[in-house]
Amino acid sequence: MRLSDLQTPALVVERRLLESNLDTMAAALPGRRLRPHVKAFKTTALARLMADRGHTGFTCATIREVEGMAAAGLGEDLLLANEVLDARRLGAVAATGARVTVAVDSDVTVEAAAAGGVREVVIDVDVGLPRCGCAPADAGRLADLARSKGLEVRGVMGYEGHVMLVEDPAEKLRQTQECMERLLAAAADVGGDLVSAGGTGTYRENTWATEIQAGSYCLMDTTYASAGLPFAQALTVLTQVVSTSPQGWAVANLGLKSLGMDHGNPTIPGALVWFCSDEHTTFSELDVQVGDLLRALPAHVDPTVALHERMHLVDDDEVLETWPVDLRGW
Amino acid sequence: MRLSDLQTPALVVERRLLESNLDTMAAALPGRRLRPHVKAFKTTALARLMADRGHTGFTCATIREVEGMAAAGLGEDLLLANEVLDARRLGAVAATGARVTVAVDSDVTVEAAAAGGVREVVIDVDVGLPRCGCAPADAGRLADLARSKGLEVRGVMGYEGHVMLVEDPAEKLRQTQECMERLLAAAADVGGDLVSAGGTGTYRENTWATEIQAGSYCLMDTTYASAGLPFAQALTVLTQVVSTSPQGWAVANLGLKSLGMDHGNPTIPGALVWFCSDEHTTFSELDVQVGDLLRALPAHVDPTVALHERMHLVDDDEVLETWPVDLRGW
């Protein structure tokens, strides 16, 4: 099967670049030093390549991701790095023998974890990104509460998301350290072995966490590509030119339904992208004919993947495998 | 079943508002004067409510939408208002007895329609939006080419998408007329009965087209809500507060994976939205507790719907029906 046999738009992953990204990260953060975040690719076939490299614990963002990873036999150690108010589906996964740990940051979420049959939690700590996470000073109390409910407290997590794209390396390091000092203070009160944090943007700087929750490194996108990381853009969206205009623009069949748009327009190498509609991208400055195939680079990988049913592993023009994007939804 | 029984985030459609929108449009553009565009809701159960009101011809944006509508028994007259280079799947749908018409704007797409077994086409004309569509002066030649290939040419289509959100009513009318004069000039050269154009933003102004391709009117979004249209925002994304901070912000479990973001952040009534992450929206200025349910208004309905597997029809707190969003993908 060739690229030209695929229905466009289609997610296409270049095997050499993917493997290079996986190997580079596995060398930097071997085995359980990395807890890959499946939200960035939502595909158990790709998670399996990480497990094959020794990363057998995974981070999830949704209950569905936990369920899908366990169903795929990748449930050795799944951390739902997110708060849930109804943990019964997580308890059901744990009852099948998978190891399921959920983040808690309030009395209510501690009680939900216990009521849902989850046995293990981490205390989610606010390290500076205004999102989930308790105040560091409250972490010890929450851990005590969790233990009083019969829960095992494995440690802490915190996400320095606001530091991922800081440009100056020294400043990025300084801010990462500041965040992790907050997390380590909480960890001292909480106990347990886990200090789970970080992402693709800080995987080198964050030497304080016991494990890094990076996910985007395997596929990458144009936003992360500007951050000076040793990972290649392995994911493109294959698209076909469906129309050209005598006035100089052309139209490809990818758009708002096939691209995460929160970080802006996709990049079509060599072209000037004008705008995206539901199923179209209008561009100029690239000499194309109707029917030409192009490979566009999405600005943000995570929401892009969430729009597709499948991704295709390729060697240049040859399609090697087609993987279901089987962790979508909630 | 109540709202509180739903897994969040979830698409929720308020029945009274939906029916009001459907009835308002059916009164303004009865029967075949409207060719509803299914791309805005991607749900055959909702399309059926339109067919029940007399709109038995539909507009589609993807081959999958054509296939799904035909499979649901809604294939009386399906117009794929988009160019395709491989029309074999469309030909297969037509062979089942559905009526399938495809837009063409070049020699290549005419030949693809004929080769794929599609029997009917419309000539897609550039009326001013830089996207698909041939130059008006080329429309007659393309129609002749299509007829020479054995295709029935039903008429023309053109989309004045750049006029949808023009604020001044007189200016909107003037621009719509200008676009439709281009389309009517092409129609005179092409022949056939159809002059298909328009959208929710110009359904009142566009009196030149024989049929209007509106879709967003049934569910609406915050972008269209600012356009002074007589349609209510029937679609919300149900979300739950999963975390609150002593520093004054709170976090709900909707984000980039459940919201089309190309028109910006969602609106949470009464709240100040700070930013969206993959599965979170951080906001302030609204007094909430962990566990509270909120109904957020998406900025753009079409790509929001494309991210969800199902939508729920509700009367306030009561869930009446759950519909699969069964026209996703390509």
The DSSP string of B86-135 is: --HHHHHHHHTT--EEEEE-SHHHHHHHHHHT--EEEEEB-SSSSSS-B-
Quick one: tokens of B250? 């709170």
Give the model's pLDDT for residue B254: 97
Q: What residues in A contact B245, CB-CB < 8 Å?
A: 126, 130, 135
Decide if A280 and B132 are in contact by the 8 Å CB cutoff: yes
**SS3 label, residue B36:** coil
Residue in chain A closest to B309 (alpha carbons) equals A329
ipTM of the complex: 0.97
Question: pLDDT digits over A111-130, tens only?
Answer: 999 999 999 999 999 999 99
Q: pLDDT tens digits, residue range A145-176? A: 999 999 999 999 999 999 999 999 999 999 99
Who among A126, A245, A291 is closest to B85 (CB)?
A: A291
Q: What local confidence, expressed as pLDDT, does residue B208 receive?
A: 98
Give dist(CA A50, CA A31) in Å, integer: 9
- Residues in chain A with CB shorter than 8 Å from the CB of B277 are 131, 161
- Ordered by where they begin, the domains of chain A are 3-11+231-324 (2.40.37.20), 16-216 (3.20.20.10)
pLDDT reported for residue B56: 98
Residues of B within 8 A of A262 (CB-CB) are 256, 261, 276
Give the minimum alpha-carbon distance from A253 to chain B in angstroms, rounded to a whole number: 9
Q: Pick out chain B residues at pLDDT < 50.
A: none
pLDDT at A4: 97
Backbone angles phi, psi at A160, to 5 degrees: -85, 55
Nearest by CB: A131 against B106, B277, B329: B277
Give me the total of CB pairs closer than 8 Å, taking one residue from chain A and one from chain B: 144
Q: How far apart (Å, rounded) are the C-alpha atoms in residues A243 and B297?
A: 34
- Tell me how far apart the alpha carbons of residues B260 and B303 are, in angstroms, rounded to a whole number: 5
DSSP calls for A58-80: EEESSHHHHHHHHHTT--SEEEE
pLDDT tens track for A33-46? 999 999 999 999 99
Determine which of B80, B239, B278 to mutate to test the interface with A (most A C-beta atoms within 10 Å): B278
Rg of chain B's alpha carbons, rounded to an integer? 21
Residues whose CB is less than 8 angstroms from the CB of residue B41 and which lie 6 or more positions away in sequence, other chains included: B47, B215, B218, B219, B301, B305, B311, B325
The secondary structure of A206-275, three-state, reads CCCCCEECCCHHHCCCHHHHCCCCCCCCCEEEEEEEEEECCCCCEEECCCCCCCCCCCCCCECCCCEEEE
Which residues from A are below 8 Å from B307, CB to CB?
306-307
State the CB neighbour count (10 A cutoff) for residue B219.
29
Q: Which of A85, A276, A329 lies at the smallest CB-CB distance from B242? A: A85
Q: Assign A238 a pLDDT band (cuts: 50, 70, 90).
A: very high
Check CB contact under 8 Å for B131 and A251: yes
- Alpha-carbon span B38 to B218, nearest angstrom: 10
User: Rounded to an integer, what distance in angstroms lies between the CA atom of residue B116 and that of residue B108?
Assistant: 12
Cα–Cα distance between A54 and A30 in angstroms, integer?
7
The pLDDT assigned to B128 comes to 97
Q: What is the torsion angle, in degrees rounded to the nearest 10, for the CA atoms of residue B43, residue B49, residue B51 and residue B57?
A: -40
Q: Measuring CA to CA, which residue among B86, B210, B89 is closest to residue B154? A: B210
Compute how many other C-beta atoms are within 10 angstroms of the C-beta atom of residue B222.
18
Say yes or no for a CB contact (<8 Å) between A251 and B276: no
Per-residue pLDDT at B70: 98
d(CA B244, CA A114): 20
DSSP three-state, residue A166: coil
CA dist A232 and A19 (Å) reads 10
Burial of B170 (0-12, 13-18, 19+ CB in 10 A): exposed
Positive or negative torsion for Cα B284, B287, B291, B297: negative
Cβ neighbours of residue A300 under 8 Å, at least 6 residues apart? A221, A223, A260, A261, A262, A263, B256
Distance between A290 CA and the closest CA of chain B, angstroms: 7
pLDDT tens per residue across span A137-152? 999 999 999 999 999 9
User: Testing the interface with B: which of A62, A85, A105 to mutate, by most B Cβ within 10 A?
Assistant: A85
Q: Distance (Å, rounded) from C-alpha A235 to C-alpha A41?
A: 10
Phi, psi of B157 (to 5 degrees): -140, 155
Q: Are strands B281-284 and B272-276 parallel, antiparallel or unpaired?
A: antiparallel
Of B83, B245, B329, the CB nearest to A126: B245
